[in-house]
Structure 1
Amino acid sequence: MNLARIEYYFSTLSPYVYLAGQRLEGIAARHGAAITYKPVDITAVFARTGGTPLPERPPARQAYRLQELRRQSSKAGLPLNLKPAFFPTNPAPASYAIIAAQQAGGGDLGALVHGLLRACWAEERDIAEEDVVQDCLKAAGFDPGLTMSGLLSGAETYARNTEDAVAAGVFGAPFYICEDGEMFWGQDRLDDLDAHLAGEL
Structure 2
Amino acid sequence: MAHIDIYLSPLSPYSYLAGTRAAEIAETHGAQITYKPLDVMGLFSRTGGTPPKDRHPSRQAYRLQELRRQSARTGLPLNEKPMFWPTNPAPACYALISAQKAGGGDLAGLVAALGRAVWAEERDIAEARVIRAALEANGFDPDLADKGMLSAAEEYARNLEDAVSAGVFGVPFYIVDGSERFWGQDRLDDLDLHLSGKL
**TM superposition shift of 1:105:** 0.6
Aligned residues: 199
For residue 176 of structure 1, what is the aligned residue in structure 2?
Answer: 174
For residue 34 of structure 1, what is the aligned residue in structure 2?
Answer: 32
- Matches of 1:164 and 1:143 in 2, distance apart? 28
Q: Deviations over 1:156-184 (max 9, x none)?
A: 00000010000000000000000051100
- Matches of 2:148 and 2:104 in 1, distance apart? 15
Q: SS of the residue aligned with 1:7?
A: strand
Q: Residue type of the partner of 2:140?
A: F
Q: Deviations over 1:16-67 (max 9, x none)?
A: 0110111001100000000000001111111111100111100000000000
- Matches of 1:166 and 1:54 in 2, distance apart? 20
Pair 1:20 & 2:25 matched: no
**TM superposition shift of 1:11:** 1.0
- Matches of 1:72 and 1:4 in 2, distance apart? 28
Pair 1:110 & 2:108 matched: yes
For residue 185 of structure 1, what is the aligned residue in structure 2?
Answer: 183
- Matches of 1:150 and 1:123 in 2, distance apart? 27
Paired residue for 1:57, among 43, 55, 67? 55
For residue 84 of structure 2, what is the aligned residue in structure 1?
Answer: 86
For residue 132 of structure 2, what is the aligned residue in structure 1?
Answer: 134
Q: Return structure 1 stretches of 4+ with deviation > 4 angstroms.
A: none
**TM superposition shift of 1:150:** 2.3
Structure 1 residues 180 and 49 mapped into 2: Cα distance closer, same or farther (>3 Å)?
Answer: closer
- Matches of 2:9 and 2:19 in 1, distance apart? 14
- Matches of 1:30 and 1:114 in 2, distance apart? 19
Q: Residue type of the partner of 2:118?
A: C
Q: Residue type of the partner of 2:158?
A: R
- Matches of 1:86 and 1:44 in 2, distance apart? 19
Q: SS of the residue aligned with 1:145?
A: helix
- Matches of 1:5 and 1:190 in 2, distance apart? 15
Q: SS of the residue aligned with 2:5?
A: strand
Q: Residue type of the partner of 1:164?
A: D
Paired residue for 2:99, among 93, 96, 101? 101
Name structure 2 gaps, 5 residues minimum.
none
Name structure 1 gaps, 5 residues minimum.
none
Structure 1 residues 152 and 192 mapped into 2: Cα distance closer, same or farther (>3 Å)?
Answer: same
For residue 143 of structure 1, what is the aligned residue in structure 2?
Answer: 141
Q: Deviations over 1:128-164 (max 9, x none)?
A: 0000000000001001111111211110000000100
Q: Residue type of the partner of 2:18?
A: A
- Matches of 1:26 and 1:100 in 2, distance apart? 22
For residue 162 of structure 1, what is the aligned residue in structure 2?
Answer: 160
